[in-house]
Amino acid sequence: MAGARPEQRVRWPAVAQSWRHVSFLHWAFPPDVVAARLPAGLEPDLWEGQAWLGLTPFLVEGFRLPPFPALPSLSRYPETNLRTYVRGPGGVDGLWFFSLDADSALTVVTAWVGTGVPYQWSAMGVEPGETITYTARRRRPCRPAGHRIVIRPGPPLPAAEVSQRDHFLTGRWRAYTVLAGALATVPVEHQPWRLQRAEVVALEEDLFAAAGLPVPSGPPLVGYSPGVDARLGPVRPVRRRAVPDR
């Protein structure tokens, strides 16, 4: 279930990578708006009666397909995901991605073919500093869309100030996907997030509209993390009678 620590070990990862300079931007949405965009078998996972959509830009480093080593020219690239939080059969929680933009043709192709996750090949940048600038613009033949996001990270959040809502929005240990017409999951393992306060300096995006979602209104909830090292397991078909998380 959602929380600070992974609920499972990914002993035989299909993908290993590090996520660096990670920003989290979240907006609350009516549950029916999100439910209408989900595949059969999934429903929104709610916090205080609201569904949540998140825009998460970051930098991938050390991408590799174990047991093969990382290739310097292919292992480092920006990525941004547009996601929501869901429950599947048996109430098992996880992530659902409406889109993932990556500046890596290898990732886009292998992810589409191997997992069904909707990657888009984009020209992207991440510029760290006192502020962090994330840019993206989809390449042809993708429908034009992109973003320019500038975040100013703040001080670390003391453990006592990390809320259950923070865990709900960041601590997810599986992603749902549809592969060959069937619901499936990808298990995820990484260290607990080291969360920091953050603020938005600039935000321009049209990824929501490109995904057929309403444009968010109002300022987002914002957080930042220097990053984690992640292991993603192979795709697993969802059993019809899944056992709920405990």
Give per-residue pLDDT as tens, 109-167: 988 888 999 999 999 999 999 999 999 999 988 789 999 999 999 999 998 899 999 99
- Note whether residue 244 is domain-resident: no
For the record, the structure tokens of 123 come out as 């020209």
Q: What is the mean pLDDT of the chain?
A: 93
Q: How confident is residue 246, by pLDDT bands cut at 50, 70 and 90?
A: very low
Number of domains the chain contains: 1
Per the structure block, which two tokens stand in for 218? 């109002």
Does position 244 have pLDDT exceeding 70, yes or no? no
Is 220 a member of any domain?
yes
- The answer to whether residue 206 sits within a structural domain is yes
Comparing CA positions, the residue from 130, 128, 135 lying closest to residue 149 is 135
Residue 3 resides in a domain: no
Please provide residue 102's backbone torsions phi and psi, each rounded to the nearest 5 degrees.
-145, 145
| Reported confidence tier of residue 230, pLDDT bands at 50, 70, 90 | very high
Contacts of 218 (CB under 8 A, 6+ apart): 27
Any domain includes 197: yes
Helix/strand/coil percent split, the chain, to 5 = 15, 50, 40
Asked, for residue 194, whether it belongs to a domain, the answer is yes
* HSE, side-chain direction, 13 A CA sphere, residue 177: 22
H-assigned helices in 21-177: 31-35, 105-115, 164-170
Q: What's the pLDDT tens digit per position in 25-74?
A: 999 999 999 999 999 999 999 999 999 999 999 999 999 999 998 888 78
State the Cα–Cα distance between residues 140 and 1, nearest whole angstrom. Answer: 38
According to the model, what pLDDT value does residue 72 have?
A: 81
What distance lies between CA 199 and its chain's CA centroid?
19
Instruction: Fill in the amino acid letter for 195.
Output: L
Domain of residue 79 covers 15-237
Asked if residue 57 lies in contact with residue 139, where contact means CB atoms within 8 angstroms, the answer is no
CATH number of the domain to which 221 belongs: 2.40.400.10
Task: Please indicate, yes or no, if residue 8 is contained in any of the structural domains.
Answer: no
**Each residue's pLDDT tens digit, 157-205:** 998 899 999 999 999 999 999 999 999 999 999 999 999 999 999 999 9
* Residue pLDDT, tens place only, 12-35: 999 999 999 999 999 999 999 999
187 within domain boundaries: yes
Q: What percent of the chain has pLDDT over 90?
A: 83
Q: What is the pLDDT of residue 240?
A: 58
Q: Is the pLDDT of residue 243 over 50?
A: no
